[in-house]
Amino acid sequence: MKKLLVWILSLVVVACIVLVEARLITINQAGGLAEIMDRYNPLVKKEVVFVRINEPVSVNAFGDATYRQKAINKEGKTRVIEFRATHVLKEDHFLKLKVKGSYVKDYKEVTLNHVPEKVIELL
């Protein structure tokens, strides 16, 4: 019984270390692996960020566009975020993205009135 308890406790400690290290590795990273790790890591917080659309980094044969943009949260903290759209988006329009680390859950086009002042200054 004692061995089982020690084994379970060790497993929990290792899992916690892995989650913390995964968060430290993916912080301010963009791309596929960071997206996957952030999506399922419970230590990564959800937040809303804003971007102004530029040209896509790439467009595949089906018309799906990949964007790598400077994103800014409501407090004015900036970072680079990568996301995909099913079509090429209109340039110089604003998007509100719901993110969890590098994972983009959802995005929506918003008007300038719905973008915080601090964000407008930095974009």
Residue 16: predicted pLDDT: 63
The two three-digit tokens of residue 43, written as one number: 């230590």
H helix or E strand, kind and range, residue 33: helix 32-40
pLDDT > 80? residue 20:
no
Say how far apart CA 26 and CA 79 lie, in whole Å: 12
The pLDDT value given to residue 42: 81
Q: Say how far apart CA 72 and CA 84 lie, in whole Å.
A: 18
Q: What are the tens digits of pLDDT across the range 51-86?
A: 999 888 888 888 889 898 888 888 888 888 888 888
pLDDT band at 31 (very low <50, low <70, confident <90, very high): low
Q: DSSP letter for 101, please.
A: T
| Distance in angstroms (rounded) separating the CA atoms of residues 19 and 42 | 8
For residue 35, pLDDT beyond 70: yes
Q: Mean pLDDT over residues 101-122, rounded? A: 84
> Mean pLDDT throughout 75-99?
88
At 93, the amino acid letter reads: H
Is the confidence at residue 117, as pLDDT, over 90? no
More confident residue, 24 or 72: 72
> pTM of the prediction?
0.75
What is the rounded average pLDDT for all residues in the chain? Answer: 81
Beta strands in 2-123 (DSSP E): 46-52, 58-59, 65-73, 78-85, 94-100, 103-110
C-beta of residue 56 within 8 angstroms of C-beta of residue 65: yes
- Residue 74 structure tokens: 């409501």
